Amino acid sequence: MGDESHRVATSDDIEVSAYLEIAKELHGEAAIAEEGLRPTPERETVVVIDFGSQYSMLIARRVRECRVYCELVPHDTPWQKIASLNPKGFILSGGPASVYDPGVPLAPSYVYESRLPVLGICYGMQVLTHQLGGQVASGSKHEYGHAILHLSATDTPLFANLPPSLPVWMSHGDQIMKLPPGFRALAYTDNSPISVMGNDNNIFGLQFHPEVVHTPHGKMILQNFLYEICGCKGNWTPSNFIAESIDRIKQQVGEGKVICALSGGVDSAVVATLIHRAINDQLTCIFVNNGLLRREESERVLNTFQRNLHMNVVYVDASERFLEQLRGVVDPEEKRHRIGEEFIRVFEEEASKLGKVDLLAQGTLYPDVIESTAAQTKVSAKIKTHHNVGGLPARMSLTLIEPLRNLFKDEVREVGLALGLPEDMIWRQPFPGPGLAIRIIGEVTKQRLEILRAADWIVMNEIKKAKLYRQLWQSFAVLTDVKSVGVMGDYRTYGYLVAIRAVTSEDAMTADWAHLPYDLLTRISNRIVNEVPGVNRVVYDITSKPPATIEWE
Ligand code: XMP
């Protein structure tokens, strides 16, 4: 889907509706229901076998950017699961191990027995070498960082459209000493005489990492493997995904009834819209206003889904209930817990008014799926309990429907745009489930919420005017519990301290404080102290994550 990013036009949607109209005329409604919307091309899949590299997920993303569907699977995945994907090729990821260490992960035999094309990356290349009869040794010089790759073979489709020399990113200790029988070296660097290898059965190895941005031609190399060697056509596009999903959703739901919690965020918006496309009024969305939203947020959500997209939306203004739950609570985790519990209660109450419901729609994404598999084997300290609505499916014992569970976030955005959702909803910065409650240090009260909403509105407004909104991962105001002395006109003031937080990030795991222009900070500060009663001082948070977190609580 990658190459179609930022596509706003919804020509495919027009095609779909035009197709529907014509099909209705020709065959009548019933025939269309049987046929589905339109034939979708068979999904081409490449399987990425994960040996634990920090870049494994990135490989999968790059493959998807080449418009080829792929799944990242653990190295011990059984053949039955792989066979069900009907793959066109394998990619073996990098990994921290050394092939001669005892008990290290190796490629399952089906990788070789299937006779499908294989691309081994870094450790993946060493695995190929070791298993196919070559020799791997600890390199005389470890290679980390930039290197120049010189192509020695001109006749391999893997190198189509590449210059004779190109910068690549290396990160390995071991290297190939002896090629396995039937292989030849295709490229070298100063430190690695065999930086790329290949045989006549479409098995290739790369010593460097094509998936990282420091290998600028890396995507072309991956694309060559996918298109020229695996024979993929690149049909993983938003419109094909939508058509395919609509068929699946119809099958899964049948005559059933689905409910979906709308949050105003991208994921739930796309899930709801996609499901609505498939089953129309069999879907009911429940939008709980917890009173902890940003200014105009609930109106915006209702406008989009109820008025423009004509979905069944049950709107519940539960602000008072949440405030009641939060009265006197200052501990951040306690706030999260209470908000999470109250959300479940409200949601359950509303759902029970709808009669028999069969499925609960959720906006689970692919990184969550991968991470939850990985997390089963990892132990990590709990910093914050982020997934505050996680209790919902368990409590309600409903079957889950998760149409986005194979998508990365950028793909969700593309699908959302292709579904015709407004750009400002698609490019909305992440907003935490507990909302403004974790941006108010200390007790959450109506008055303090109003102060924060007003300050936050100014931050958002100015950031958008400065055209920085999309570049920033998040930007917002925090209302602290500090009061300080100020002077306004001839009077002493004693008011709240507001902090501004703006960060850049790829995935919220790490973040840098954003170097916002001084004049923008000046405008924000002036406007807040002048326009928001009760605030007389503004500070800018210049801490990165780690050691700070993005939110203050
Ligand atoms: P931190 O503050 O841990 O946040 O650096 C990382 C990302 O997660 C969001 N966040 C939350 N999201 N419920 C959510 O749904 C939460 O309780 C929560 N706490 C933090 C935060 O906005 C950032 O994007």
Mean pLDDT calculated for residue range 39-62? 91
- Percentage of the chain lying above the pLDDT 70 cut: 89
> What gap in Å lies between CA 457 and CA 500, rounded to an integer?
12
| Angle, alpha carbons 540-384-53 (nearest 5°) | 95
Given ligand 1 and candidates 290, 364, 386, 545, which is best to mutate, with the most ligand atoms within 8 Å of its CB?
Answer: 386
Does residue 485 sit in the same domain as residue 409?
no
CA of 138 relative to ligand 1 center, distance in Å:
42
The ligand 1 atom at the shortest distance from the C-alpha of residue 336 is 17
CA of 386 relative to ligand 1 center, distance in Å:
6
Which tokens is 46 given?
């490449």
CATH of the domain at 353: 3.40.50.620
Q: Is the pLDDT of residue 17 over 50?
A: no
Which candidate, 296, 262, 290, places its Cα nearest to that of 444? 290
pTM of the model: 0.85
Which candidate, 305, 270, 310, places its Cα nearest to that of 287? 305
CATH of the domain at 478: 3.30.300.10
Q: What are phi and psi of 376, to 5 degrees?
A: -60, -25
Residue pair 521/502 in contact (Cβ under 8 Å)? The answer is no
Q: Is the pLDDT of residue 217 over 90?
A: yes
> What gap in Å lies between CA 427 and CA 367, rounded to an integer?
19
Residue 126 lies in a domain: yes
Residue 36 lies in a domain: no
In terms of residue numbers, what domain contains 370? Answer: 238-426
DSSP 437-496: GGGBSS---HHHHHHHHHHHHHHHHHHHHTT-TTTSSEEEEEEEEEEEEEEETTEEEEEE
Mean pLDDT calculated for residue range 6-35? 36
Does residue 290 sit in the same domain as residue 252?
yes
Catalytically annotated residues? 122, 209, 211
Binned at pLDDT 50, 70 and 90, residue 221 comes out as very high
CA of 509 relative to ligand 1 center, distance in Å:
10
Residue pair 495/537 in contact (Cβ under 8 Å)? The answer is yes
- How far from 25 is each of 21, 22, 32, 36, CA to CA, in Å? 6, 5, 10, 15
Residue 32: predicted pLDDT = 35
> What gap in Å lies between CA 347 and CA 398, rounded to an integer?
13
DSSP 280: G
Given ligand 1 and candidates 337, 339, 384, which is best to mutate, with the most ligand atoms within 8 Å of its CB?
Answer: 384
The ligand 1 atom at the shortest distance from the C-alpha of residue 430 is 24
List the beta strands (DSSP E) in 236-298: 258-262, 283-289
Which candidate, 429, 451, 454, 432, places its Cα nearest to that of 442? 451
The ligand 1 atom at the shortest distance from the C-alpha of residue 511 is 5
Residue 384: predicted pLDDT = 74
CA of 442 relative to ligand 1 center, distance in Å:
18
Final residue in a domain of this structure, among 426, 448, 463? 426
SS3 274: helix
When the pLDDT of each residue in the chain is averaged and rounded to a whole number, the result is 90
Does residue 282 sit in the same domain as residue 196?
no
Residue 107 lies in a domain: yes
Binned at pLDDT 50, 70 and 90, residue 18 comes out as very low
Residue 1 lies in a domain: no
Does residue 352 sit in the same domain as residue 308?
yes
Residue 224 lies in a domain: yes
Work out the end-to-end distance of the chain between its first and last CA atoms, rounded to an integer number of angstroms. 36
Given ligand 1 and candidates 440, 507, 550, which is best to mutate, with the most ligand atoms within 8 Å of its CB?
Answer: 550
Q: Is the pLDDT of residue 550 over 70?
A: yes
Binned at pLDDT 50, 70 and 90, residue 16 comes out as very low
DSSP 432: -
Final residue in a domain of this structure, among 229, 261, 277? 229
Which candidate, 109, 97, 116, places its Cα nearest to that of 47? 116
Binned at pLDDT 50, 70 and 90, residue 428 comes out as very high
- Percentage of the chain lying above the pLDDT 90 cut: 81
Which candidate, 34, 17, 15, 39, places its Cα nearest to that of 251? 34
Final residue in a domain of this structure, among 195, 229, 263? 229
The ligand 1 atom at the shortest distance from the C-alpha of residue 383 is 3
Residue 35 lies in a domain: no
Binned at pLDDT 50, 70 and 90, residue 244 comes out as very high
CA of 251 relative to ligand 1 center, distance in Å:
35
- How far from 145 is each of 150, 171, 211, 297, CA to CA, in Å? 16, 6, 14, 45
Binned at pLDDT 50, 70 and 90, residue 140 comes out as low
Pocket of ligand 1 (CB under 6 A): 336, 384, 386, 388, 430, 432-434, 474, 508, 545, 549-551
Does residue 346 sit in the same domain as residue 448?
no
CA of 429 relative to ligand 1 center, distance in Å:
12
Does residue 390 sit in the same domain as residue 446?
no
CATH of the domain at 76: 3.40.50.880
Does residue 87 sit in the same domain as residue 154?
yes
Residue with CA nearest ligand 1 atom 6 = 508
Does residue 364 sit in the same domain as residue 503?
no
> 3-state DSSP helix/strand/coil percent for the chain, to nearest 5?
40, 25, 40
| Angle, alpha carbons 249-373-51 (nearest 5°) | 120
pLDDT in tens, 264-279: 899 999 999 999 999 9
Q: How many independent structural domains does the chain possess? A: 3
CA of 387 relative to ligand 1 center, distance in Å:
9
Task: Identify residue 316 by its one-letter amino acid code.
Answer: V
Does residue 475 sit in the same domain as residue 416?
no
Q: What are phi and psi of 205, to 5 degrees?
A: -130, 140
Does residue 311 sit in the same domain as residue 387?
yes
Residue 146 lies in a domain: yes
The ligand 1 atom at the shortest distance from the C-alpha of residue 553 is 2
Partners of 91 in the beta sheet? 48, 119
Residue 5 lies in a domain: no
Does residue 201 sit in the same domain as residue 268?
no
Q: Does residue 5 or residue 309 have the better pLDDT? A: 309
Mean pLDDT calculated for residue range 446-453? 98
Residue with CA nearest ligand 1 atom 17 = 386
Does residue 391 sit in the same domain as residue 535?
no
Q: Is the pLDDT of residue 322 over 80?
A: yes
Residue with CA nearest ligand 1 atom 3 = 549
